[in-house]
Amino acid sequence: MTLTDLLPILQLAIGPTILVSGVGLVMLSMTNRFSRIIDRSRQLTRESRTEPDAVRDLILAELRILARRARVVRAAIALASSSVLLAALLIMSLFAGVLFSLSIAWLVVAVFSLCLACLIAGLILFIYDINLSLRALWLEMPVGGDVDGGAARAPK
């Protein structure tokens, strides 16, 4: 294989490589949110030990939301990681297909489709986590504390 033969493969591999970089940045945001959820959960757990029952009930409700958020973000991170792994597999498949003269167009399409499906599912879960975080915020607001006129409150 000559350098001239290799250049078209490298050009094909640039797209998935850029996808890996982009998903990596999204994963950075996801892991930061996950860390904040864990930190907030630990803080509330400590507070719940010293607060009266009425306040403790609100803290426990918020902890339930945080636990749900942690599971959602964990799943989003797993899906984004799967997307990166599939993109890497796609790059390897492109090189293997050319190197060994394999007819793998169907494999490339399937792997790329799975890669994007994982990314889309992870982003949907990430958006869902944002909605869950608003529910936890509303628990912290004083009763009747309609600070935005109810504009941000989603229907139940």
Mean pLDDT of 46-56: 92
| Residue 66, domain member (yes or no) | yes
Q: What is the pLDDT of residues 116-131, one digit of tens each?
A: 999 999 999 999 999 9
Task: Return d(Cα 34, Cα 73) in angstroms, integer.
Answer: 6
Domain count of the fold of the chain: 1
The pLDDT confidence band at residue 150, using thresholds 50, 70 and 90, is low
pLDDT above 90: residue 8: no
Residue 116's pLDDT is what? 98
Residue 99's pLDDT is what? 86
| Residue 153, domain member (yes or no) | no
| Residue 87, domain member (yes or no) | yes
| Residue 146, domain member (yes or no) | no
Specify the 3-state DSSP secondary structure of 146: coil
Q: Which two tokens stand for residue 150?
A: 């109810």
Q: Which residue has the higher pLDDT, 14 or 146?
A: 14
Mean pLDDT of the chain: 90
Residue 121's pLDDT is what? 99
Residue 135's pLDDT is what? 87
Provide the 8-state DSSP code for 134.
H
| Residue 39, domain member (yes or no) | yes
Note down the domain range covering 22: 3-140
Enter the pTM of the model. 0.85
Mean pLDDT of 94-118: 94
Q: What is the CA radius of gyration of the chain?
A: 22
| Residue 131, domain member (yes or no) | yes
Question: Closest Cα partner for 99 from 12, 36, 38, 33?
Answer: 12
| Residue 38, domain member (yes or no) | yes
| Residue 113, domain member (yes or no) | yes
